[in-house]
Structure 1
Amino acid sequence: MLSNTEENLPYIWYKKENDKRNLQEIIKDEIDIILKLIHTNGAILFRGYDIDNEISLEKCTSNFPGDSLDYIGGNSPRTKLHNKVYTSTEHPSESFISLHNELSYASNWPKFLFFSCSIPSHIGGSTVIADSRKIYNDLSEKLLNEFKNKGVKYIRNLNNGIGAGISWQKTFETNNKYEVEEHCKLNQIDIKWLNNNNLQLIQNRQAVLQHHISKDWVWFNQADQFHPSTNPPEIYEALMDFYEDDVLSMPQYACFGDGSLIPLEYFDEIREVTKKHSIYFKWNKGDLLILDNILIAHGREPFQGERKILVSML
């Protein structure tokens, strides 16, 4: 049973029997309280309000400050369902999605994430969340200082519709190279067109961040998710053998911002600390989860059967 206190993650906002308002009205009426809770706790789960489709999700986001964002340039496979509502991810159901702050490798990341449950899985499929402040505070001083000073360089190699990983057409929601180039120029992404119309993206970003409201420092990068060591050992070894000394040609890769390698023991520490602070919760149909994307990292456990979680970003 999820606990309903301001200190617990997530904070649970249960539907009251005597409150006839729908969730869209509650968000509009109680926005100051909701924002204070999110900037303090990091996550609110609204339970019992039947937010189980893209229309009801969009109505909830419309009463929140800020504009909904497209997922242009993102690295996760997902489908746009309605305006700026997407499937949460289309990674294979047997995969564990490591915890991350959405689009932390981008120059413009969402401040808030809205997840709603259309179809909960019966086996597995819990969303995993962790407080990025606690991760930051628990990492060793040596690791933290090196990431602070050097930042992270993200490399992605996008295919032209054939090959491993995601195509640049799907990533940027266009077939027009000029539109891709303009987007990358505006978002500080270095690009290189390769053979067969494949595209390489290079992004240098921060590894830590100070929250704009709470002023807390947080761990805010996806280096461990981009590095091939995120895979099971046998897959990691196969990738390293296949690409040999050409790791920059992998579908995605991460190193320090100066180009130096990140020690594998650093990734071990990051994953261990993240695991220590991970909280799993199982979805109910109609749940709405709002995350402060800077304060809270999220992921997904493997599942069996059908599962459909929707997402909108602000």
Structure 2
Amino acid sequence: MATSIQSIGINALAIGSQTASAVVFEPFDLPPSNQRQLGAPHPIGTTIPLALRPSYAGIENINLGDVITTVKGLQSQDKLLTKQLALHGTILFRGLPIHNADDFSKFAHAFGFKPHEIIGIVVNRPVLAPNISPASEAPKEFLIHSHNESPQVPHAPGYIFLYGHRVPARGGETPMSSSLELFRRIQDEIPEFITELTEKGLLSRITYRKERLYTGGSTLREAFGKEIVDGDDLATRRSKIEAQIARYGRGTHTTWEWLDNDEGIVVTHRLPVIRTQPSTKLPSLFTGLAIFYQDATANNPTSSVRRNITEQMYGDGTPIPDRYLRRLVAITDEIRVLHRWEQGDVLVYDNIIAQHGRQPWEGEQTDRVVMASLFDGDEVPGPYGGADWAQLVRALEG
């Protein structure tokens, strides 16, 4: 069983049967403030992000069709881009001919991943193009701390694509960091926290209500009501919502309780925080606890509402000590880099091993427009420890 990450040599990524007019993705360096070398267990010299830009031989203008052909060709060669994501955690593509949501959708789908169906969504994601939505519609002043996508539900995407359609003059950076490195640092510095997470897991309790409670948040119908039609009575609506929750397929590890007066539902999951990368079996701290701690300590209206919607504690129902959460946040900040967006940039995250977030920005809310696209991986993360709640499964088709 592999227990280390193997380095994949890269000078330039190109299709094996490259023609004179083919696109080549060449690596390039970013300023130290936007790129860093990852710590253990990553191989020495591995950077986050891997920064790539297209290079043409004999062609003056970049063509999206040629870029897509190259992406598909690289993925047909033993999934070369997927392997780079598994090594670096994040890839930056700069200088692509992507100008709108449709262009972004075509590029993201070229990787060959299966679009991710979000079940139990906690943020609003209106559709802009096939499998494309706003990354976040939270107010510009609100800090979204580093996290893996969908850590509070059992069914999380394997890959996240972010496209910078409009970028602010100041602020609005997107963090990136390694969940593998985060686990190693926490294990070295506060091993008792790792022991407790392994033994207890996480209890995630989410309240879904009929009405949207904060800007960018979701409603109960957006979360679980895809089969509901106007005219359904109360019993029918509840039956359809419960059927969607049951698609998690986790038995007693996912339960729910209806609120009075048809106001909503509280869904509780027992989840693993520590999950393993399928290719290496290395442990990854897959978590949104930094956001939870931010919401618990921040003094602003959005954080207060979010704090009342999502509760997180140890799997046995006991609170997670603040001293652990404070150190978790501090280490996360130490090992992250902030991506300074240029218009047209695309960031691709391996969600099992890389965290993202969002910094506040100055100016207008509309000065920053970042779109997102979520996809499933070929495998779900593996368990860490022998508890039955530690094994995740793909949500049932429905």
Contact 2:72-2:112 within 8 A present in 1 as well: no
Measure the CA separation in 2 of the matches of 1:195 and 1:159. Answer: 11
Measure the CA separation in 2 of the matches of 1:44 and 1:266. Answer: 30
Cα RMSD of the aligned pairs, angstroms, is: 2.4
Contact 1:39-1:214 within 8 A present in 2 as well: no
Query: For residue 310 of structure 1, what is the aligned residue in structure 2?
Result: 371
- Could you tell me which of 193, 210, 213 is aligned with 1:160? 210
Contact 1:43-1:296 within 8 A present in 2 as well: yes
Shift of 1:224: 3.5
- Could you tell me which of 46, 49, 62 is aligned with 1:7? 46
Question: Is 1:186 aligned with 2:242?
Answer: no
Question: Is 1:301 aligned with 2:348?
Answer: no
Query: For residue 341 of structure 2, what is the aligned residue in structure 1?
Result: 283
Count matched residues: 304
Query: For residue 295 of structure 2, what is the aligned residue in structure 1?
Result: 230
Q: 1:167 is aligned with what amino acid?
A: T
- Could you tell me which of 202, 209, 214 is aligned with 2:280? 214
Question: Is 1:118 aligned with 2:165?
Answer: yes
Shift of 1:231: 4.6
Query: For residue 350 of structure 2, what is the aligned residue in structure 1?
Result: 292
Measure the CA separation in 2 of the matches of 1:94 and 1:287. Answer: 22
Contact 1:126-1:300 within 8 A present in 2 as well: yes
Task: Map 1:1-314; keep pairs closer than 5 Å.
Answer: 2=30, 7-18=46-57, 20=59, 22-31=66-75, 32-139=79-186, 140-161=190-211, 163=213, 166-172=218-224, 174=226, 175=228, 176-187=237-248, 188=250, 189-197=254-262, 198-227=264-293, 229-235=294-300, 250-304=308-362, 305=364, 306-314=367-375
Measure the CA separation in 1 of the matches of 2:82 and 2:133. Answer: 23
Q: Identify which of structures 1 and 2 has the higher relative contact order when contacts are C-alpha pairs closer than 8 Å and 6+ apart.
A: 1
Q: 2:259 is aligned with what amino acid?
A: L
In 2 relative to 1, CA 19–46 (structure 1 residues): closer, same or farther, beyond 3 Å? farther
Measure the CA separation in 2 of the matches of 1:285 and 1:234. Answer: 32
In 2 relative to 1, CA 163–128 (structure 1 residues): closer, same or farther, beyond 3 Å? closer
Measure the CA separation in 2 of the matches of 1:194 and 1:205. Answer: 23
TM-score, length-scaled by structure 2: 0.71
Measure the CA separation in 2 of the matches of 1:286 and 1:110. Answer: 23
Measure the CA separation in 1 of the matches of 2:311 and 2:333. Answer: 22
Q: 1:15 is aligned with what amino acid?
A: P
Q: Deviations over 1:7-30 (max 9, x none)?
A: 211001112142756321121111
Q: Which runs of 5+ in 2 are unaligned?
A: 1-28, 38-44, 229-236, 376-398
Measure the CA separation in 2 of the matches of 1:219 and 1:118. Answer: 30
Shift of 1:36: 1.8
SS at match of 1:155: strand
SS at match of 2:270: strand
Greater alpha carbon shift after TM alignment, 126-135 vs 99-108: 99-108
Greater alpha carbon shift after TM alignment, 17-26 vs 274-283: 17-26
In 2 relative to 1, CA 260–126 (structure 1 residues): closer, same or farther, beyond 3 Å? same
Q: 1:103 is aligned with what amino acid?
A: S
Q: Deviations over 1:55-109 (max 9, x none)?
A: 1122123222331013331223332222321110111110110111111232221
Q: 2:175 is aligned with what amino acid?
A: V
Measure the CA separation in 2 of the matches of 1:296 and 1:13. Answer: 18
Q: 1:169 is aligned with what amino acid?
A: R
Contact 2:161-2:348 within 8 A present in 1 as well: yes
Q: Which runs of 5+ in 1 are unaligned?
A: none
Q: Taking every aligned residue pair, what percent have the same amino acid on both sides?
A: 21
Contact 2:290-2:328 within 8 A present in 1 as well: yes
Greater alpha carbon shift after TM alignment, 166-175 vs 127-136: 166-175
Contact 2:225-2:241 within 8 A present in 1 as well: no
Shift of 1:267: 0.9
Greater alpha carbon shift after TM alignment, 132-141 vs 44-53: 44-53
In 2 relative to 1, CA 169–161 (structure 1 residues): closer, same or farther, beyond 3 Å? same
Measure the CA separation in 2 of the matches of 1:258 and 1:272. Answer: 26
Measure the CA separation in 1 of the matches of 2:167 and 2:212. Answer: 32
Measure the CA separation in 2 of the matches of 1:62 and 1:110. Answer: 14
SS at match of 2:55: coil
SS at match of 1:116: strand
Measure the CA separation in 1 of the matches of 2:295 and 2:58. Answer: 46
Q: 2:135 is aligned with what amino acid?
A: S
